[in-house]
Amino acid sequence: MLSRRVDHFVESVIRDMTRLSLKHDAINLAQGFPDFPAPDELKRAAASPILEDYNQYSITWGAKDLREEVSRKAFEYNHIEADPETEVTVTCGSTEAMMASMLAIINEGDEVVVFEPFYENYGPDAAVSGAIPRFVPLNDDSSINEEALVSAFNKKTRALILNTPNNPAGKVFTKDELKLIADLCVEHDVIAVTDEIYEYILYDKRKHVSIGSLDEMKDRTITISGFSKTYSVTGWRIGYVLAGRTLTSAIRKVHDFLTVGAPAPLQHACVRALGFPDSYYGELVKMYDGKRKYLYNALIKAGFKCRLPEGAYYILADIPEGVEMDDMAFARYMVREVGVAAVPGSSFYRSGVGKHKLRFTFSKKDETLQEAARRLEGLSI
């Protein structure tokens, strides 16, 4: 009665943990969204278009002024040239951007290279679009295993999914690593689909590099980002895709019939977001850097083993030694008995490595993190 497609994936574990967290009144360090307010200026910029009656569809591929601002930002920040008329598509979050892109380029049986650990959505994205994922584990220190990467490419490889800064490991790909990936993409005629939703959240003066800015990748990159994380508006569901004209026209076709378009009034507010001064982004990093160090210390104190992430707002931690439970059982135990929700590591791995890990987010108010730290102190192993 149901399609075979849906047999290949389960419901989001991340969102399941949020529901479990609510049920047990736990502190939700599972789902990556802020529990603090969005910037005031943005909230006002979202309310007024509704009152001024911008309440009907925008152009399917995005309001013109937003596409123009996205194009300007892409040029200045990502060093990518994208014509707002033909190479920018506004979507319902980067989640839709990723799915629309995959549906636009994948034929049944094509292979897609995915680094492991990976963001939970990429598995279902592959299943729905008919792709066969080829997972390439990163080394323990998050560097690329070159041999494994090279051997993942073959005649069937159609695309490589990149996520930098990476969720859940916090890895930021360096320019040299991106060049290695680019060389392989060129050699095997592969498209890079790159999810850069955390592009402004990098620590210790790291710089974001978009693979689409490398000369050889200009016509074979689909660059995806959005407003959720940078501007703390995850519920608005506004993202976008930058891609060459031919790729964009295919992506726009899929996007049109999937969603018609992203919420029109919120697109107006996003134009305002792109006008924020440089200081906004500096403050954002400073804020998350403090939270990153705080949660890291609390996890170490509670017996977890982890490293400070280089970017994004998650810590992927090894379950403390002495715990006999696997990640699923331990995550449930933590919600019920400790009152802190995290995501079981197996959501991010095809291999068994994830069974020994939990992912925590620090995209929360300081008070929330302090209460989580207090509860974690009570973790008796």
State the residues that interact with ligand GLN by CB under 6 A. Answer: 14-15, 31-32, 167
CB closer to ligand GLN, 30 vs 222: 30
Q: Phi, psi (5° rounding) for residue 317?
A: -120, 145
CB closer to ligand GLN, 153 vs 198: 198
Q: How far is C-alpha 343 from the geometric centre of its chain's CA atoms?
A: 15
Least distance CB 190 / ligand GLN (angstroms): 25
Which residue of the chain is nearest ligand GLN when measured via CB?
32
Residues 362, 294 contacting (CB under 8 angstroms)? yes
CB closer to ligand GLN, 267 vs 347: 347
Least distance CB 310 / ligand GLN (angstroms): 17
Least distance CB 1 / ligand GLN (angstroms): 28
Least distance CB 173 / ligand GLN (angstroms): 18
Residues 28, 18 contacting (CB under 8 angstroms)? yes
CB closer to ligand GLN, 153 vs 349: 349
Q: CA 263, CA 283: separation in Å to the nearest integer?
A: 28
CB closer to ligand GLN, 235 vs 378: 235
Least distance CB 302 / ligand GLN (angstroms): 21
Least distance CB 237 / ligand GLN (angstroms): 10
Strands of 10-75, DSSP E = 27-28
194, β-bridge pairs: 162, 223
Q: Which residues contact 154 (CB under 8 A, 6 or more apart)?
A: 111, 188
Q: Which residues contact 70 (CB under 8 A, 6 or more apart)?
A: 62, 82, 84, 88, 90, 240, 242, 274
Q: Which residues contact 143 (CB under 8 A, 6 or more apart)?
A: 177
CB closer to ligand GLN, 235 vs 352: 235
Give the helix/strand (H/E) hosting 332. helix 327-333
